[in-house]
A and B are shown apart, each in its own frame.
Chain A
Amino acid sequence: MNLPHDSAIKHVTGESVYINDIPADERLLLGKVVYSPHAHARILRIDYEEALKVKGVHAILTARDIPGENQMGPVIHDEPCLAEEEVTFIGQAVALIAAENEDAAQQAASFVKVEYQPLEAILDLETAMEKNTRIEVERKIERGDADAVLSHAPHVIRGKLRTGAQEHWYLETQSALAVSGEGREMMIHASSQNPAETQAVVAEVLGIPKNEVEVEVRRMGGGFGGKETQGNHVAAWAALLANATKCPVKIHLFRDDDQVMTGKRHRFLSKYEIGFDDNGLILAYKVELNADAGAAADLSLAILSRAMLHAENAYYIPDILIRGNAWKTNHPSNTAFRGFGGPQGMAVIENAIDRIARFLKKDAAEIRLLNFYRNDHNNLAPYGQEVKNNHLHMMYDKLIGSSEYFKRREEIVRFNREHEFYKKGLALTPVKFGISFTTAFLNQAGALVNLYTDGTVLVNHGGTEMGQGLHTKILRIAAAELGVGTGQVRVNATNTSKVPNTSATAASSGSDLNGMAVKNAIDILKSRLAEVSVAEFKKKTKDDRSRKENILFHNNVVSDKENPDRTIAFPDLLKIAYLKQVSLSSTGFYKTPGISFDKEKGQGTPFYYYAFGMAVSEVVIDTLTGMHRLLRTDIVHDVGDSLNEGIDRGQVEGGFIQGVGWCTTEEMKWDSTGHQITHSPDTYKIPTVNDIPADFRVEILKDVPNPGTIRQSKAVGEPPFMLSFSVWLAIKDAISAVGNHETEPDFTLPATYEVILLSSEKLKKRIG
């Protein structure tokens, strides 16, 4: 079960090849992007005559040099590949340079003169709302009459919550290598979560058909959503330069440029009203989610949709109104990031419940328990889908026990009484996360499985490897389905010529979709091979007692279940099949059954199933400095029947810590003109080894098979991210202790040292 990552040995020896490591011939040119320094401006003139004279410069391109369509918007075509008359964010590509070396490219870039006429820029959500820059229309999900219930509810709490942007900080910045071939052919080595879309965008900008563009992705040095659409951009730019120069062109963005040019997790500004009774039972919830889309639509509407579909998280709320809007601003177009809006939607309800608990002077964990979805009743989500096989109560019991929640709560109360300046906090938070692309047609996948006559297997599928271990899972699925050793199977680089028309590796769906497609291909091959073995047994035994449906593939041997003495070694069977002119290669296909969602009505069954998780975290804050320490985290997480426990654990721990970063130290700041002032790791702080819990206990739930998925497993990429709310709200609990839990502290996300300190100071003043 615990097969290490299929590239692990290459990773630790430094052999793993990323885009920037691909050996290219001596004609290789480096691509450089000249980008806008203005958040919003008219381009009056571009003069690159001097730049062209720099020794080693081969080409400089602007919008008018694009042979095809000047577009790279993935859903809505509102994103030019190179700016034409106007720039709408800082970091927008205006010109491209291909040069023989970095120094020449750098020098040429400094000689490209672009004259701008600055225009008024919209840099925050409030202004965007005031100027009504909404993308499409407001979306709604509604059940019952939230307004009516709120007007009669015993208690109502109203508020606003801001959640911050987050930089992906994949270790490998955006990169692509474009190699032009014969005629119009273009080969792209991409760092993209969506090679099929990279292919489409490259074909469009070059004005050539898709069958002339091949995109290959060996691996990414991290993606996290940041390369779902925005990996296409560097690929398109590199392709334009390669097409113009007929030389291979590589673009590997410098870290600061990557941080300036690419989109982030969407900032949200949310407003809510929640009504509840004396016990803390939620009666009604009204929430308005506002997303900062940035300068283009990108995936913003799908992200907003997922935020709305997770607005109630793990809680049954009878009367509910969820409204959602995405607003354009003059920032780089915000994009997919692990959780895809889910975290932004869920943060609001989790914070609201925390407020209910403080208001009622109850423990927040108990309020959560009271409101969890149930299995027999109160199990319909606001959009009408039944929440099935819900593990919330079981997980709660388990975690409350294993974390000794209530005992530690008492200890914390004592600690806080005894310490004036250090305060501890504790919080339990749940995650219910819907699995499937919310755009229903994307829930499809393809595969191509080749068997070779030496008994080895080559698997191609549409999913991409970004570190999450998808290929390792697929490898094990293929080996198990074929009954061969994992050493006999290899998973190929993802290639659009092998498996076409695929969806992005996103929405945590990689193994669900591609695993099934691979199984489908293997089922087809096994059926052919079963026929061959039946014929072979018949030839040997001269009887026809062996039947196709009884043929088993196990331990590298093919046998007859009913006649166990009849066996053929798997490699031998392949040789026989080959001699009998039977095809040893098959494609496979899968589409998720039974999902649909009506965006206009806000109703349907958008998810194939839900993944569940729960966490308890304890922190200590220093109210004199605002600094905190994460003392302990206990996690229970549901992955169905794990496809690979080591890899799943890695996703849970890694996702959680990434979430902790978003909730605590990862603060994105801009100046008044829209320039990011946190554009490098010097000032943008992702977690280090010292930011993980001092005591970190992760339990992967056992014996919870998930019916209807590949080997009864569950998706695991995104859900653990939101377990980090336990840390966020533990910090709030600790701040709240400064005011003896009598006053609602000022709070936001991320809860930086600044938030902790200033909020604590305010409470200190209140209590005198």
Chain B
Amino acid sequence: MQKTVRFVLDDRIVEVDFARFPELKPTTTVLNYLRSLPFHKGVKEGCAEGDCGACTVVVAEPGENGRLVYKVIDSCLVFLPMIHGKQLITVENIALTGKKDKILHPVQQVLVETNGTQCGYCTPGIVMSLFGLYKNHSSPSLEIIEDALTGNLCRCTGYRPIVEAAATACTGNGKDHFSEKEKEILSMLNSILSGKETMELKQGKQRYFKPFTLAEALRLRKQHPHALVISGSTDVALQQTKKREFLPEILDISGVEELKLFRETGTEYGFGAGLSIEQVKLLSESRIPVLHKILKIFGSLQIRNLATIGGNVGSASPIGDTLPVLFALGASVMVSSESGERMVKIEDFITGYRKTGLHKDELITEITVPKCQEKIKTGAYKVSKRKDLDISTVLGAFRLNLKDGVVTEIVIAYGGMAAMTKRAMKTEQFLTGKEWSREIVVLAMEILAGEFSPISDARAEAEFRKTVSANLLLKFYLETTHS
């Protein structure tokens, strides 16, 4: 049993032993941990909910080909044990210390030259996002640059000089002083990661379990049925950072590699529940374009690197972005417990507002998506107040099977229209067997508008939701007939 959290910071292994640091607890966020140190105050809290990116840091972890993989994350959402076995890189680590002045990293140097900083409060986060971009892309496209910066709010500059800095700086094939130390860091990380015994941490009334195998995860799940299950913690962390709730028991399955597998057969795709949204986004690009389209505008890169597909399904939010698409694609959820596994259709799995059919001893292990025949048309549209880094107000996803212009099957699923993701069954029924024409679709839109009673809230009024949900059907019609 491991009793401490170990990671690499400032080029050496740091060991956090909670017994020795009463001011820290397992769910202390990486942000608050860093800010408690004398020389890592560059990292800033802007919102404590992953919406501004001022707390962005980079974590490096061993990748497939014996190289380090660099990922940007929001440190305000990440608990200390989640970076066990990783290198934590902050804004203080990016420049080298010269004899008199600092030797700036290319991303820092260019940001200075383009006037990419004004008040400077968002800058450490921006620098880390640019550093992540630098390590992962050479001469990135504008689309990649914008995606890399979506998770960083800046209220001063209007972003243009930051975009310019990204384009100018990220041309070094990722080479920098981190490249020189890569082997050394890898060996430190591998030495930490060689221990596969379950981590059990305790501080005061809080207990935190971090297993590294599925078997251990399932054992702990059964043993501690009330423990909150987390992987990326982008949703659960808010209970602590925003609602100030005390989290007594945590089961952190982010270390279970078996949950991060992807498989493809002749008939289906299997996404391990622990795959990050970013990984699923990349995997779905050529395979499931409709899912890819929605994942591209899911949160920010910092969030997508943390959040998992299993977590998004398991949290069963009425406005979770993946659910309507998975409904439309006819996906299933594989759940496992020590006594076996079962496959549940996603529609049956989601049972209510943030409620699922998951039993107290089960974990979601895989999201299974059947392959679509080529003639089947799919579509998904996210409507949000702001184009990016926003939760959907309404998300409509569609699957259509036509034979000689007549609907043989249609699935219409919406997020944001009810307490849970819901299919428009009456509308589906109406359309089935009918001609796929604008006249019929316009009639269907009226049925659709009567099928839901959405609420008014901070994002929009009910009237807007009704109108927009009907319009999305029309949008799908137009897309299926005009391209």
A74 adjacent to chain B (CB < 8 Å): no
Task: Give the interface segment out of A2-10, A455-463, A557-565.
Answer: A2-10
The residues in B between 119 and 177 inclusive whose CB is less than 8 angstroms from any CB of A are 119-124, 127, 146, 149-150, 152-163
The residues in A between 726 and 768 inclusive whose CB is less than 8 angstroms from any CB of B are 752-754, 757-758, 761
A658 adjacent to chain B (CB < 8 Å): yes
Contacts of B121 in A (CB 8 A): 18, 170-172, 221-222, 467
CA distance A16 to B457 in the complex (A): 39
Partner of A11, one of B54, B120, B146, B389: B120
Task: Give the interface segment out of A274-282, A316-324, A498-506, A645-653.
Answer: A645-653
CA distance A223 to B44 in the complex (A): 17
* CB atoms of A14 and B43 under 8 A apart: yes
B42 adjacent to chain A (CB < 8 Å): yes
Minimal beta-carbon separation of B177 from chain A (angstroms): 14
CA distance A172 to B156 in the complex (A): 12
With A627-B387, A683-B458, A758-B467 known to touch, is A650 a contact of B155 (CB < 8 Å)? no
* CB atoms of A758 and B390 under 8 A apart: no
Interface residues on A, range: 35 or more
A288 adjacent to chain B (CB < 8 Å): no
Task: Give the interface segment out of A90-98, A428-436, A674-682.
Answer: A674-682
CA distance A18 to B123 in the complex (A): 13
CA distance A11 to B381 in the complex (A): 39
CA distance A571 to B310 in the complex (A): 68
* CB atoms of B119 and A170 under 8 A apart: yes
CA distance A669 to B460 in the complex (A): 10
Partner of A169, one of B41, B155, B386, B459: B155
B461 adjacent to chain A (CB < 8 Å): yes
* CB atoms of A13 and B104 under 8 A apart: yes
CA distance A567 to B77 in the complex (A): 62
Minimal beta-carbon separation of A754 from chain B (angstroms): 5
CA distance A655 to B160 in the complex (A): 12
Chain A 648-692, CB-CB to B under 8 Å as 1, else 0, gives: 011001111110000001010100000001101111011111111
* CB atoms of A757 and B464 under 8 A apart: yes
B478 adjacent to chain A (CB < 8 Å): yes
A219 adjacent to chain B (CB < 8 Å): yes
CA distance A646 to B112 in the complex (A): 11
B51 adjacent to chain A (CB < 8 Å): yes
CA distance A67 to B150 in the complex (A): 48
Interface residues on B, range: 35 or more
CA distance A758 to B124 in the complex (A): 40
Partner of B474, one of A467, A624, A758: A624
A437 adjacent to chain B (CB < 8 Å): no
With A13-B42, A665-B386 known to touch, is A221 a contact of B468 (CB < 8 Å)? no
* CB atoms of A255 and B47 under 8 A apart: yes
* CB atoms of B242 and A256 under 8 A apart: yes
Contacts of B390 in A (CB 8 A): 685
* CB atoms of A681 and B162 under 8 A apart: no
* CB atoms of B387 and A691 under 8 A apart: yes
CA distance A681 to B120 in the complex (A): 19
* CB atoms of B119 and A689 under 8 A apart: no
The residues in B between 466 and 481 inclusive whose CB is less than 8 angstroms from any CB of A are 467-468, 471-472, 474-475, 478
* CB atoms of B118 and A650 under 8 A apart: yes
A626 adjacent to chain B (CB < 8 Å): yes
* CB atoms of B117 and A171 under 8 A apart: no
* CB atoms of A691 and B386 under 8 A apart: yes
Contacts of B460 in A (CB 8 A): 753-754
Contacts of A169 in B (CB 8 A): 153, 155
* CB atoms of B51 and A14 under 8 A apart: no
Contacts of A691 in B (CB 8 A): 386-388
A-B contact pairs, 27 of them (CB 8 A): A2-B115, A4-B113, A5-B117, A5-B118, A9-B102, A13-B91, A14-B42, A14-B90, A14-B91, A17-B41, A18-B44, A170-B119, A170-B121, A170-B155, A171-B121, A171-B153, A221-B121, A255-B46, A467-B118, A624-B475, A625-B381, A625-B472, A629-B387, A654-B158, A680-B49, A680-B242, A753-B383
Pairs of residues from A and B, 8 with the lowest C-beta to C-beta distance, nearest first: A14-B42, A467-B119, A221-B121, A11-B120, A467-B118, A657-B158, A14-B91, A653-B158
